[in-house]
Structure 1
């Protein structure tokens, strides 16, 4: 059976709790990602910040705040004020089916992968889509020979 370690991404963009919302917003935009794990200086997992968390912390456009002012506000808010400190994480030895069930049941977009308090990877919806494509591609030749 496949384990999380077989599918997870190990090249992870991370931020520190003292980084700002402006930094998080910029990283997410540049890397085209929606989730960033937060780690301390020893790479211990501290939490998670999502695109939704940033949106919730943003002043409403109805307030008439321009983009420059919003960036100034974001530059003064440390991630630790907004991040999810109780973010669920999983072990790299977790069965991939169990990880998928957790994502689906809780409507998460990702699960950080932690070993002895340290972040070692992340598994995202995109990882599951890539896995599904690989599995479908390996099944197609079998189906073609069965119908011949």
Structure 2
């Protein structure tokens, strides 16, 4: 798997950098290389998700996205086409210790909707998606709103 260049760790200042492992989705829906596209479509629909890591013996070997399935459905029969035929092989991955900022930059620069999270041995540990970042942003905005309300309340008193 390809991992983007990791930034050097921050100096020991007592402040901890937010890491991918803090926000990644750990409960994953995955495919095997031999699973057909009809099953993949069902899994995406039932799970209300857009990305399916493809694994072999717990290790990431590819990625199938909703867009890949839509593209394939125009020319391939879903019941007889294996995930291995359309999956992105060797997708870019990150580790749980990758900074959240670095993962976000990779996703923005390369226009990715997700990054699989793998251990050093290639084992799939999780996935970080655009939805994870939107959830994080919503929580941060909510916290900022609470701080703003508290500041406004203290200036009135």
Task: Name the residue aligned to 1:50.
Answer: 65
2:46 aligned with 1:30: yes
Task: Name the residue aligned to 2:146.
Answer: 141
Runs of 4+, deviation exceeding 3 Å: none
1:17 and 1:79 map into 2 onto residues whose CA distance is 5
Counterpart of 1:120 (choices 125, 133, 139) is 125
Question: Residue 30 of structure 2: SS of its match in structure 1?
Answer: coil
2:138 and 2:74 map into 1 onto residues whose CA distance is 40
Task: Name the residue aligned to 2:6.
Answer: none
Task: Name the residue aligned to 2:26.
Answer: 10
Question: Residue 102 of structure 1: SS of its match in structure 2?
Answer: helix
Question: Residue 87 of structure 2: SS of its match in structure 1?
Answer: coil
1:108 and 1:117 map into 2 onto residues whose CA distance is 20
Quote how far apart the aligned CAs of 1:33 are.
1.0
Which structure: greater helix fraction?
Answer: 1
1:72-117 Cα distance to aligned partner (Å, 9 max, x none): x211111001000021111010000000011111111110000021
Quote how far apart the aligned CAs of 1:29 are.
1.1
Stretch of structure 1 that moved more, 131-140 or 31-40: 131-140
1:109-129 Cα distance to aligned partner (Å, 9 max, x none): 110000021000000011001
TM normalised by structure 2 equals 0.82
User: Unpaired runs of 5+ in structure 2?
Assistant: 1-16
Pairwise CA RMSD of aligned residues? 1.3
Task: State the aligned residue count.
Answer: 136
Task: Name the residue aligned to 1:67.
Answer: none
User: Unpaired runs of 5+ in structure 1?
Assistant: 61-69
